[in-house]
Amino acid sequence: MNNEILIIGSGFAAYQLVKSLRKLDAQVPIRLLTADSGDEYNKPDISHVFSQGRSSAELTRLSAARFAEQYQVVIQPFTRVESIDPQARRLYTADGSHAYAQLVLATGASALVPPVPGHELLLTLNSQAEYQAAEAQLRDARRVLVLGAGLIGSELAMDLLSSGKQVVLVDQASSVLASLMPATVSASLQACLVGSGAQLRLGSGLQRLERSSDGIRAYLSDGQAVDCDSAIAAIGLRPNIELARQTGLAIGRGIQVNRHLQTSAEHIYALGDCAEIDGRVLPFLQPTQLAASALAKTLLGQPQALQLPPMLIRVKTPRLPLQLAGETHGEHLDWQLSVNDQGMLAQAFDAQAQLRGFVVSEGRLQNAFALLRQLPG
Nearest-angstrom CA–CA distance, 237 and 150: 12
* Same fold across 5-110+237-299 and 113-233: yes
CATH fold group of domain 113-233 = FAD/NAD(P)-binding domain (3.50.50)
Amino acid at 141: A
Eight-class DSSP state of 57:
G
Q: In the predicted model, what is the mean pLDDT of residues 294-310?
A: 96
pLDDT of residue 1: 58
pTM: 0.93
| pLDDT one-digit tens code per residue, 199-230 | 999 999 999 999 999 999 999 999 999 999 99
Instruction: Say which CATH architecture domain 321-374 belongs to.
Output: 2-Layer Sandwich (3.30)
pLDDT of residue 7: 98
**201 - beta bridge partners?**
170
Percentage of residues in the chain having pLDDT higher than 70: 100
CATH fold group of domain 5-110+237-299 = FAD/NAD(P)-binding domain (3.50.50)
pLDDT at 280 over 80: yes
Q: Hey, how many other C-beta atoms are within 10 angstroms of the C-beta on 303? A: 13
Domain boundaries, the chain: 5-110+237-299, 113-233, 321-374
Task: Please answer whether residues 32 and 5 qualify as being in contact, where contact means their C-beta atoms are separated by less than 8 angstroms.
Answer: no
Task: Please answer whether residues 7 and 31 qualify as being in contact, where contact means their C-beta atoms are separated by less than 8 angstroms.
Answer: yes
Task: Please answer whether residues 335 and 185 qualify as being in contact, where contact means their C-beta atoms are separated by less than 8 angstroms.
Answer: yes
H/E stretch holding 8: strand 5-8
pLDDT at 331 over 90: no
pLDDT of residue 353: 95
Q: In the predicted model, what is the mean pLDDT of residues 46-59?
A: 94
pLDDT of residue 282: 86
For the chain, the average pLDDT equals 96
pLDDT at 318 over 90: yes
| pLDDT one-digit tens code per residue, 250-264 | 999 999 999 999 999
Q: Hey, how many other C-beta atoms are within 10 angstroms of the C-beta on 187? A: 16
Nearest-angstrom CA–CA distance, 281 and 261: 12
Q: In the predicted model, what is the mean pLDDT of residues 333-359?
A: 95
Q: How many CA atoms lie within 13 A of 118 on its CB side?
A: 16
